[in-house]
Amino acid sequence: MYRIIIDRSLCSGFGSCAELAPEIFELDGEGLASVRVGTSDDAAVLDAAAACPMAAISVIEEQAA
Q: Is 17 exposed, middle or buried (0-12, 13-18, 19+ CB in 10 A)?
A: buried
Q: How confident is the model at residue 63 (pLDDT cuts 50, 70, 90)?
A: confident
Q: Using the predicted structure, report yes or no on whether residue 64 has a pLDDT greater than 80.
A: no
d(CA 9, CA 1): 25
Note the pLDDT tens digit of each residue in 5-60.
Answer: 999 999 999 999 999 999 999 999 999 999 999 999 999 999 999 999 999 999 99
Going by pLDDT thresholds of 50, 70 and 90, the confidence category of residue 65 is low
How far apart, in whole angstroms, are the C-alpha atoms of residue 5 and residue 11?
12
Q: Which domains does the chain have, with CATH numbers?
A: 2-61 (3.30.70.20)
